[in-house]
Amino acid sequence: MFTANYFIEKLQMNAHPEGGYYKECFASSENISSRDLTTKFEGERILWTSIYFLLRDGELSNFHRLKSDEMWYYHSGSALTIYMISPDGILTTSQLGLDIEKGEVPQVLVPKNYIFGSAMNNEGYALVGCMVSPGFDFKDFELFERSDLLNRYPTHKDVIMKLTRV
């Protein structure tokens, strides 16, 4: 039986600033510039990057935003919930897991410019993969403060309280 600590140790995962653990595992050997895209980046970006990401029982990934699309892939453990607020302020959730009959799906796309976070809502852990295209760069990573999101989206107070730091 696998455990969260097994994957953290064997995959040599590190604490992530948004919460949980991660390990960079793959990156494209090609670059892309913003002149080839509708999203404007400073300089070039790797075409795509991929990480392992893990949350343990009770952990969460705080609300953040990227300038790139991020595809999430389920690998092991319990399902987790991905919470997304669209640029229009609409909140949606997706259950990342393998129990299709319960509404879980093995892949979830978080579109660029969505504010999103994730949480374990079951016991155990969730090991997932996240592929970002154009590739992840901390210059394009925006972590949100609770007061900012509460002012912008007061109708989503409960989930904002859950997925933000004070």
Q: Which of 152, 151, 148, 146 is nearest to 165 (CA)?
A: 146
Quick: pLDDT tens for 101-150.
999 999 999 999 999 999 997 899 999 999 999 999 888 899 999 999 99
E strand intervals along 35-151: 44-46, 49-56, 60-65, 69-77, 80-85, 91-96, 104-105, 107-110, 115-120, 125-133, 142-143
**Number of structural domains in the chain:** 1
What would the two tokens of residue 163 be?
């997925």
pLDDT tens figures, 29-69:
998 887 777 777 777 888 999 999 999 998 999 999 999 99
What pTM was computed for the model?
0.93
The enclosing domain of 109 has a CATH number of 2.60.120.10
- Residue 49 is part of which domain span? 4-34+42-163
